[in-house]
Amino acid sequence: MPKKPDWNIKDFSGGLNDKVDDNLIANNETPDCQNVIANKIGSLTKVLGSAKLNTVALGGVVQGLHSYYYGTNRKLIAVSNRRLYYWNTVGSAFSEITLPAESYPKGLNTSASVYFETLVSYIVGFNGINPPFKWDGTTISVLANAPADGQFPCLFKEKLFTVPKSDPSTIVWSNSFAPETWEAVNYWDIKKGDGDIITNLVPYLGELTIFKRYSTHTLRGTNIDDFRYDEINPNVGCVGPRACVQDGMHLYFVADDGIYRYNGGNMENLTLAKIPNLWSKINSEYIGNAVAGRWEGFLWFALPKDSSSFNNFVLLYDPLTGAWWPRTGLHISCLVEFNTGKETKFYSGSSLVTFPYVAEQWIGNNDLGEKITSYWKSKAYDMGNPAFLKKAKKMLVADGNNTNDATPSISLDYGTFQDLTYLDGDNLVRRFDCPNTWWRYFQPKLTHDVIDKSFEVRGLTLQYKAKSKAK
């Protein structure tokens, strides 16, 4: 063993890896972390938080969000507790869009999610139970002749596609440029009778990708005369209508056995390679509620974890580095980007009946007024040889220019984490005394749970000595 060596880590960007033993993962990876992010090499920080958009509560779970733009019209649309709303910037509150009483005597169904599509000058909304509606920013009415139980509308080749709830292995569509003209011949059965149902329709690479729960299909062409159907994967599908997001030339989607990346030909299970143990804690019974989104270079996957029946957990994925970052404290039923005309914001709808709000994400240093508890653990180090006993002397923590710092602790030979004794330092480097104990493995940890504050760590250094002979 070298005499009086130092151990250093200056890169935290590898993210979570629970597939490999914690002493064999890469130096920049972590076997366990929560609410931290490393979106640039050499810097570990707390994730940004969330804040309520509406101070006046909606009626319940947010069943849908959508961004509507036409001319000077810019409207953020929300659905909650039978009602349809738009965000009124004048009053800084949600204003109700009154549905026609003759067609919606009790409003929208309280338990059905609403899915939207924009058709040039107006939006349409389908929930599989109530008649589909259309709204042009002023007037709302029933979308004439559309399937009354249509689900997840999708515009493809200038036709409006949907899936009838009563016939969930069939896609139907309107005539081109005529979303209120639906001919009987405009349908296609997707492997009908296989015991599976269509869960999502996604235009991608000039084709219509048709996800079933356990398989993936595609429709190519422009009309009924030249449409061509193919099965892409008979064993992998998407769990739900909000569980897919496009980033660049790839689709990322949630399947029952993990999160996949699809390039139009091949599908790769990304969670299997890095976080299979964490994925085993996702509640498969309610995974159909999963939500996928994209913001600030990260892909967001809201999921039900442990015994939760609603989304209570988020996985952030960095497509550039392949790093996973677990995010707790969020309850998300839907996600949407909204351009105000001055800036683009990222909003989520709540999956909690007890918290009927829309929230702006990636803002501030708390979650809706509550502190964000974050931590990061390093790999377990044996300094290249566990046969030698080692004793730590000092731990140096290099901070960013931030006066609110993360608390370091250390675990020796997989024991309890012990807070280190602060010796001295300044705003950029702090020095801590370590336990006067011989060990074979050590594992540092950084913790931060101060409300309205963040932190930045740029590096860790451990000064130690080793026995001259193996023990």
The set of residues, in sequence order, having a beta carbon less than 8 Å from that of 162 and lying 6+ positions away, is 126, 132, 146, 147, 150, 151, 152, 153, 154, 171, 172, 173, 201
The pLDDT value recorded for residue 199 is: 98
- Structural domain spans, the chain: 6-48+374-466, 51-370
Average pLDDT of the chain, as a whole number:
95
Helices (H), 148-275: 270-274
Short-list 157, 329, 337, CA closest to 247: 337
CATH topology assigned to domain 6-48+374-466: Jelly Rolls (2.60.120)
The pLDDT value recorded for residue 1 is: 47
The set of residues, in sequence order, having a beta carbon less than 8 Å from that of 447 and lying 6+ positions away, is 373, 374, 375, 406, 407, 409
Asked if 6-48+374-466 and 51-370 have one fold, the answer is no
- Retrieve residue 199's tokens: 């869960």
pTM of the full predicted structure? 0.96
- Retrieve residue 372's tokens: 């964000």
Q: In what order do the strands lie in the sheet with 332-339?
A: 332-339, 344-350, 358-361, 50-52, 366-367, 370-371
Go through 96-115 and write b for each residue having 16 or more CB atoms within 10 A of its CB, e for each that does not: ebebeeeebeebbeeebbbb
The pLDDT value recorded for residue 468 is: 72
Q: Looking at this protein, which amino acid is placed at residue 17?
A: N
Specify the DSSP class assigned to residue 174. P
Q: Are 16 and 32 in contact (CB under 8 A)?
A: yes
- Retrieve residue 195's tokens: 């015991």
Q: Tell me which residue has tokens 């999610």.
A: 113
Short-list 81, 51, 89, 52, CA closest to 64: 81
Q: What does the pLDDT look like over 80-101, one tens digit per residue?
A: 999 999 999 888 899 999 999 9
In this structure, the dihedral spanned by the alpha carbons of residues 155, 157, 159 and 162, taken in order and rounded to 10 degrees, is -50
Q: Are 268 and 257 in contact (CB under 8 A)?
A: no
Distances (CA, A) of 224 to 159, 177, 178, 227: 11, 15, 15, 5
Short-list 155, 61, 77, CA closest to 113: 61
Q: Are 252 and 300 in contact (CB under 8 A)?
A: no
Specify the DSSP class assigned to residue 178. B
Q: What does the pLDDT look like over 192-202, one tens digit per residue?
A: 999 999 999 99
pLDDT in tens, the chain (471 residues): 445 568 899 999 999 999 999 999 999 999 999 999 998 888 999 999 999 999 999 999 999 999 999 988 899 999 999 999 999 988 889 999 999 999 999 999 999 999 999 998 999 999 999 999 999 999 999 999 999 999 999 999 999 999 999 999 999 999 999 999 999 999 999 999 999 999 999 999 999 999 999 999 999 999 999 999 999 999 999 999 999 999 999 999 999 999 999 999 999 999 999 999 999 999 999 999 999 999 999 999 999 999 999 999 999 999 999 999 999 999 999 999 999 999 999 999 999 999 999 999 999 999 999 999 999 999 999 888 888 898 988 999 999 986 688 999 999 999 999 999 999 998 899 999 999 999 999 999 999 999 999 999 999 999 988 887 776
| Distance, CA of 432 to CA of 138 (rounded, Å) | 64
The pLDDT value recorded for residue 204 is: 97
Q: Tell me which residue has tokens 């007024």.
A: 369
CATH topology assigned to domain 51-370: Methylamine Dehydrogenase; Chain H (2.130.10)
Q: Tell me which residue has tokens 């009924």.
A: 224
The pLDDT value recorded for residue 5 is: 67
Percent of the chain at pLDDT > 90 equals: 89
Instruction: Give me the numbers of helices (H) and strands (E) for the chain, helices first please.
Output: 2, 45
Short-list 84, 108, 103, 82, CA closest to 95: 84
Q: Tell me which residue has tokens 């130690």.
A: 464
Q: Are 47 and 35 in contact (CB under 8 A)?
A: yes
User: What is the residue-wise DSSP string for 292-345?
Assistant: EEEETTEEEEEE-BTT-SS--EEEEEETTTTEEEEEES--EEEEEEEE-SS-EE
The pLDDT value recorded for residue 66 is: 98
Q: Are 379 and 33 in contact (CB under 8 A)?
A: no
